[in-house]
Amino acid sequence: MRELDFARALAREAGATIVATARESLEVQTKEWADLVTTADRAAERLIRERLTAAYPADALYGEEEGHAATDGANRTWIIDPLDGTANFAGGMNIYAVCITLVEAGLVRLNVTYDPLRDEMFDARAGGGAHLNGSPMKVANDCAIENALIHLAFARDRRHWRQSVALATRITEIAPHARNLGSSALAQAYVAAGRLHAHVRVNVGDFDILGGNLLIVEAGGVATALDGEPYGDGMRGLLAAGPRIHAVLNGLGLAACREFE
């Protein structure tokens, strides 16, 4: 698939831009409460937008930093998260990624999630499986819940914060090895690669999770709302895991969220 090859190359180029910016003069700004943006985010998104617009002028673009660029009659949208894990990056923690996703007619067609520091390219194409640097990925599905590595994504907005804490409390009662990487994109990629057993979060935005969901599903996992319903607009939260861990956690997060509705 030509688009997947293009997205891989573009993610590598954007990753190189981010690393180079970090070595030079990095500026950090606050977009809103607890939400940072840096000169590296903006430079990487500009690069990705320019390349995509030149290669696929009929497609629409949606970027985390610069929003939506509509094209009349566009049937395809590229979703760009130029630097997922900005707070880590700004603080000198080397856990972040470049994410590029293609959605066509409402369906996710491909995703690339690239870790530029480790040179790890996680990618998936709908119906084509998920791969890490060209090798097939498979979710971990043979772990007891008490030994499972569960990634808990904490909400940044105050409205969902208490629900995030309640969710963490419920899950750590049965799965004490919970953690947060500071990059949901890499967490989803790690679930697909079998490094983590689940990714759970209360609040979601489509640009955050659609591509990562494809990675997990193509690697044999399950990605749903917290109540186990198929993920879609207006659904509550996200539970993405191998089938066995998903079955154990299914509904647990939703019960925690309801405590603070």
pLDDT of residue 30: 56
Domain boundary among 136, 153, 178: 136
Considering the entire predicted model, what is its pTM?
Answer: 0.90
Query: Are 120 and 8 part of one and the same domain?
Result: yes
Query: Are 74 and 174 part of one and the same domain?
Result: no
pLDDT of residue 168: 85
Is the separation of the CB atoms in 109 and 16 below 8 Å? no
Q: What is the mean pLDDT of the chain?
A: 86
Query: Are 123 and 163 part of one and the same domain?
Result: no
Average pLDDT over every residue of 93-107:
94
pLDDT of residue 34: 45
Domain total of the chain: 2
Domain boundary among 111, 136, 161: 136
Q: How confident is the model at residue 153 (pLDDT cuts 50, 70, 90)?
A: confident
Query: Are 207 and 99 part of one and the same domain?
Result: no
Average pLDDT over every residue of 151-158:
78
Domain boundary among 119, 136, 153: 136
Look up the CATH number of the domain holding residue 45. 3.30.540.10
Per cent of the chain over pLDDT 90 is: 57
Domain that holds residue 52: 2-136
Each residue of 171-225: pLDDT tens digit? 899 999 999 999 999 999 999 999 999 999 887 665 668 999 999 999 999 999 8
Is the separation of the CB atoms in 144 and 173 below 8 Å? no
Region label for 56, one of left (φ > 0), alpha (ψ between -120 and 50) or beta (otherwise): beta
Query: Are 171 and 131 part of one and the same domain?
Result: no
pLDDT of residue 69: 52
Nearest alpha-carbon partner for 163 in 229, 238, 88, 84: 238
- What residues contact 259, with CB distance under 8 A and at least 6 apart? 163, 166
Is the separation of the CB atoms in 229 and 131 below 8 Å? no
pLDDT of residue 68: 58
pLDDT of residue 158: 67
Please work out, in degrees rounded to the nearest 5, the angle formed at the alpha carbon of residue 198 by the alpha carbons of 180 and 205: 70
Query: Are 105 and 178 part of one and the same domain?
Result: no
Query: Are 169 and 119 part of one and the same domain?
Result: no
Look up the CATH number of the domain holding residue 171. 3.40.190.80
Query: Are 114 and 168 part of one and the same domain?
Result: no
Is the separation of the CB atoms in 179 and 150 below 8 Å? yes
Which range among 42-46, 83-87, 179-183, 224-228 has the greatest average pLDDT?
Answer: 179-183
Query: Are 154 and 253 part of one and the same domain?
Result: yes
Query: Are 120 and 26 part of one and the same domain?
Result: yes
